Every structure is written in structure tokens, then in C-alpha cells.
Structure 1
Amino acid sequence: MTTPTTAATDSALPYTEAWIAGPNAHQFYTRTYAASPPRAVIIFVHGFGEHVGRYEASFPAFPKRGVTLFAYDQRGFGRTALDAEHKSKDAAYGKTSWAEQLGDIEWWVKYLVKEYPGVPVFLMGHSMGGGLACAFPTRGSSGPPSSDTVKLLSGVIACSPCIQLTNPKPKIVVFAGSQLGRILPNLAIPAGVNPDDLSRNPPRNQAYMNDPLIKPTGTLKGVDDMLNGGEKLLETGWKHWPKTLPTLFVHGTADRVTSPKASESFFYKIQSEDKTYTPYPGAYHELFQEIDNIPEKLSDEIISWVEAHLSTTTGAKL
């Protein structure tokens, strides 16, 4: 078991911080919102260009109801990519791929199953992270992950998943980027988002713009994998969704970044015997940053959905 390096954390904060050596000893910044004792564990995978610190207002609600929430800055983003003291030597902003990201999720699933023996583990992702959460159980024989790891999950929660963009790039542009990415996968390219498209909450949108851990760039490989990976989910990936794996989809109907129509299409295609889709009327992309008490409603819905699935599942074991 990897021994985490605990970061200095204010005892008044609702989470603990740690740097953990993941796959190939890559250093990841993590936060744990711990319930004592936990009835369930959620692994949270954030979106493109962001980091787990953006969810400080919502995540404390989870341990209050007995759900431990574990979140990490993804490979290529946040502190995992930018912290000068702790980051891995090969870390760079936007430097990532779906194979690595899915491998990372697999590693975290196994890690948390060992850390919390007998406690049900759920996977939750937002935007790019939501696309990865959808892809995780649908890899078939192309892995990662292995089917044995998928069986360790008690459910999947997809928040505004990036399956398709609301306004897709021209196919010729995507194709050209994909071809160039084969030669220069880590070439940095502009990949910013209009902050006004994120939510109807101007202060939160401005905070996004002022955040030093958010850069308006990506890499050819990282962006190409995200866009083409979502397309493949709609084409063939949905066929591999395990029938017994429960899933909850939530999406704002006015999302200007990722397509709610694509999200619905994927949802209705998968053959899950236990699936729920909740549209949030008028809401934009970042439901956890929205107005009209949507973040509170969303947290309650997710926690209630997890609670409803505790009686039908038992904690996984490796």
C-alpha cells in the first residue's frame, strides 16, 4: 500500500490533504472529505482544466450524511501538474491521455477498496471527468480498466458528462488535430472556455478566470482523446455497459459546453437495469457552481441516490 504524504491542512477545514504516489509513482494531490464511519465512498473526477479546490462549498455536505468523498487533481491539471514542490518530474499542464486517466481511475478504485474494506465505492465525474466515468465501465476488452475492477463499483454518477460538445468543432479540425497529435502529443494548444458559459453565477465564473490553477490550454493528445473518446461512447462504447451497474445522470438543459442531448442519447442507449436521468431546467454546465440552490439540490440528489443503493449492494473486496 502506498504511504501518502500528508500536506499541511488547517484543522478547521472539512477535508484532509495528501500527496499520493499513484500509477508509476506519479504524484497526485488529493482531498478526502471523511465521514466517520463511512457508509459509502465516492471517488470524484473533475473536469477539463479545473481542480478539486473548486468544490469546497459543496463537498462538505457529503460526510455529514455518512458519505466519504475522495477527490484528486487529475494527471495534467491542478496541483498535480503545477505544484513546484510535490509534482512529478514529468508532469506538465494538460499532459495526459485517456489511457492514463482511465488507468488512474482504476488505480484509485483499487486503492480505496483497500482503504475502506467492505464499504461500497461509487465513481462520480463532472464534464471531462463525467466522460471518463462513462467510459470506465464500457471499455470491453480494450482496457484499462479490467472487468474485475469495474465489478468493484457500486454505481456511477455522471454530471454534465463530456460526450459531445454543445457546439462541436468542425470534423476536419478535429481530424487534423488528431493526426498532428500522433506526432506531437504534448504540444500545448489553446483550450479555454468562455466563463459566461459555465454557470449563471457571475462571481463563480469570475473566480474561474482568476484561479491560478486553471490555464486556458491543453495538449493535442489530451484534447483529442477527450473529444474522440466521447464520440466512441455514442458509437459503440454504450454496448459494453454492465447491465447490473446502476447509474445516475444529471445535466443542465441549457448547458453551453457539453451537449445534454448527447448525454441523454448515451443514457438511453446503455442497457443498465437501474438508471436515472435528471435534467436541471435552465441550468448551464457547472451544476455545482449554479444559482437557485442548485448545488444544494444536486448534492442532496446524489447523496440520496447513493443511500438508496446501499441496501442493494455490499462493499467490494479485492
Structure 2
Amino acid sequence: MTPPEPAFLPEDSTFVSFDGAHLGLTVWPAEGTAQPEHVVIGLHGMNDYANAFHMAAPYWAGQGVTTYAYDQRGFGRSPKRGLWPEEEVMRQDLRTAAALARKAHPDATITVVGISMGGSVAISAFGSDNPPDADRLIASGPGLRGWGAMNFLYRASLWASTHTRPGWIVRPPERFVRIEPSDNIEMLRRTWEDSLMLRDNRIDQVYGLVSLMETAHQRVASLSPNLPVLLSYGANDYVVPPKGVKRTAKELPDHVRTVYYENGYHMLTRDLQAETVHADYLAFMVNPAGDLPSHAPEWPFR
């Protein structure tokens, strides 16, 4: 049976991808125009879904930007929730979304904004031999904690657990692990109460995520010099520790820009200072060579 043609179906909150899979889709149309000059494709992070853009996208919409954010496979409203998809399938979904955005908005500048895991997907796709058809890449608090950033004991235990008990559900004890991904406590409360969020993971999901982050690290040096890239990181990011980011920073091509938010956490687009980040990302979309409004510094460990 021939799969249906790829399509954005906003009225059904659906993104039909390359193989006919129906992924969840949320669209924030640009205000005041049906022909936006800028379009964003939003990729959420681990355990999240398109709602990760619920603060950034309305801000951008008010500035004439349309955002298409979809639920990656295994997350939110998309198929096989709670199961890790193949890496290349995730990248092909992004290529398909970019092609659809280009078809719908042929004269617009298209920016991929990847948050955390979404940043890993985007970097690994743009660093491949078949990059998405987009004009900018912004990786917000990108997942850069691959195998090479972990100690031997953790690598060995994760490998062994995945290959013997792939369906094992892991839940870090709250009394031992208290990592705050943001200083926006009210937002965190609403997020944790959202039924579309994943609250725990199979061990093979964790393994798949680490492998994806390693691929992103390995491919970052292959990002095209013709692609404007901005990588952001918060000084208070305890979800993606500095060790992995420092490791990848050494491999960044000269043309890749970085920005370091002294008051930022992992969820930069949803922190209390989120509008500062939204404005910086918008400025980069419009003029990737220009100054960012915040005048925040580059990564100190680059």
C-alpha cells in the first residue's frame, strides 16, 4: 500500500511524514500576514512535545514569524509513544518537515530551532550528506552528552542494561536526583502536570538518546559554512553538564556562533528570562551576522 503524501495538516494537528506516519503538529501562524518572511520548524527535547514552543512561538508570531512544531516519534501525540525511534528516521522527519515548509513558504527564510534532544537531531541532520532544506539552525541547550562525555562505568552499565533488559523503566529517586531544568517554577509545574509529557523512560530510550548525542558531536564539524548556526547554553544547565558541551565546543567550525546566558538554565526558551532568548533567536533569524540584542557573551570554554 502506497503511503499518503507528506503534508502539514494544521486543522487536524497532524504532520504526515515521509513514510505516512501521522505525527502531532502545532502551528503558531504569523500575526498580520499570510506570507511570513520567516518560518520556524521547532524540534522539542526528550520527553517533551511541540508544546515546548508555547512561549517562544507566540512571541515570534507577534513579530511576523510562523512556527511549525511537531511531536517527534515516540513522544507526545505521535506513534509508539515511549519507544525510541531510529535516529535516521528522526532526521528524515526533519528533512520532510523542512521540504513542506519550503513548499508552503517558498520566499521565506526557514530556521530550524532544536531544543535539547531536538538540537541533537538537527545538528546530526545538517551535518549529514543530506542536510534539510533550511536557511538557519539554532540549537537551544543542545543535547551534547554522548558516549565520549561519560565515564566508563556509566557507559558499560547503560550498554549492558540496554542489551539485557531494554524495556526496563528507569526513574531516578527524587531524594538522590534533584535537577532543576528551569527557574520558571510555575511553568515547570504546568509541564509536569501535562499528560502528554513522558515521566519515565525505558533504558533503551536513554541508550538511543546518548547515541544520538554522540552522532551530533561527531557531525558538528561537518556543518556547512553556508549555514548560519547559533548554539546557546545556560550557565545553570544541569541537564546537559558542561563536560559534553566543552568536548563538542572544541570541534565547532569557525563560522558557528555561540551564546552563553549567565542566568540561563536548560529550558532557555521557557526560563524567567525567556523573552531575552526569544529576541536573540529572532535577531539571528533576521540577521545571523548581526549583534544579538542581549549582547550575551560567547561560550567561555570554546
Q: Are 1:189 and 2:169 matched, yes or no?
A: yes
Q: Which residue of 2 aligns with 1:171?
A: 152
CA 1:308–1:95 in 2, change beyond 3 Å: closer, same or farther? same
* 1:67-112 C-alpha deviation (Å, 9 max, x unpaired): 21110111101121xxxxxxx4xx2323323222112111111121
Identity of aligned residues (%): 19
TM-score normalised by length of structure 2 = 0.81
Asked if 1 retains the 8 angstrom alpha-carbon contact of 2:179 and 2:239, the reply is no
* 1:268-298 C-alpha deviation (Å, 9 max, x unpaired): 522253x32111103221112212xx11111
Q: Which residue of 1 aligns with 2:266?
A: 285
Computed over aligned residues only, the root mean square deviation of the Cα atoms, in angstroms, reads 2.7
Question: What is the distance in 2 between the residues matched to 1:247 and 1:261?
Answer: 21
Tell me by how many angstroms 1:258 deviates: 0.7
| One-letter amino acid of the structure 2 residue matched with residue 32 of structure 1 | V
Q: Which residue of 2 aligns with 1:118?
A: 107
Which of 177, 181, 206 aligns to 2:189? It is: 206
Q: Are 1:301 and 2:280 matched, yes or no?
A: yes
Question: What is the distance in 2 between the residues matched to 1:267 and 1:245?
Answer: 17
Question: What is the distance in 2 between the residues matched to 1:107 and 1:18?
Answer: 16
| One-letter amino acid of the structure 1 residue matched with residue 235 of structure 2 | T
Within a 5 Å distance, the mapping from 1:131-142 to structure 2 comes to: 131-140=120-129
Q: Which residue of 2 aligns with 1:106?
A: 95
Q: Which runs of 5+ in 2 are unaligned?
A: 291-302
Tell me by how many angstroms 1:237 deviates: 2.1
Q: Which residue of 1 aligns with 2:61?
A: 63
Q: Which residue of 2 aligns with 1:255?
A: 237
What SS class does the counterpart of residue 56 from structure 2 fall into?
A: coil
Q: Which residue of 1 aligns with 2:300?
A: none
Tell me by how many angstroms 1:113 deviates: 1.3
Question: What is the distance in 1 between the residues matched to 2:10 and 2:142?
Answer: 31
Question: What is the distance in 2 between the residues matched to 1:180 and 1:99?
Answer: 23
CA 1:109–1:227 in 2, change beyond 3 Å: closer, same or farther? same
Question: What is the distance in 1 between the residues matched to 2:159 and 2:95?
Answer: 25
Tell me by how many angstroms 1:159 deviates: 0.4
Q: How many residues align?
A: 278
Asked if 1 retains the 8 angstrom alpha-carbon contact of 2:235 and 2:262, the reply is yes
Q: Which residue of 2 aligns with 1:23?
A: 18
TM-score normalised by length of structure 1 = 0.77
Which of 267, 270, 273 aligns to 2:252? It is: 270
Q: Which residue of 2 aligns with 1:92?
A: 81
| One-letter amino acid of the structure 1 residue matched with residue 282 of structure 2 | I
* 1:23-66 C-alpha deviation (Å, 9 max, x unpaired): 32111111111222211211110000011224323311112222
Tell me by how many angstroms 1:216 deviates: 2.3
| One-letter amino acid of the structure 1 residue matched with residue 208 of structure 2 | D
| One-letter amino acid of the structure 2 residue matched with residue 43 of structure 1 | I
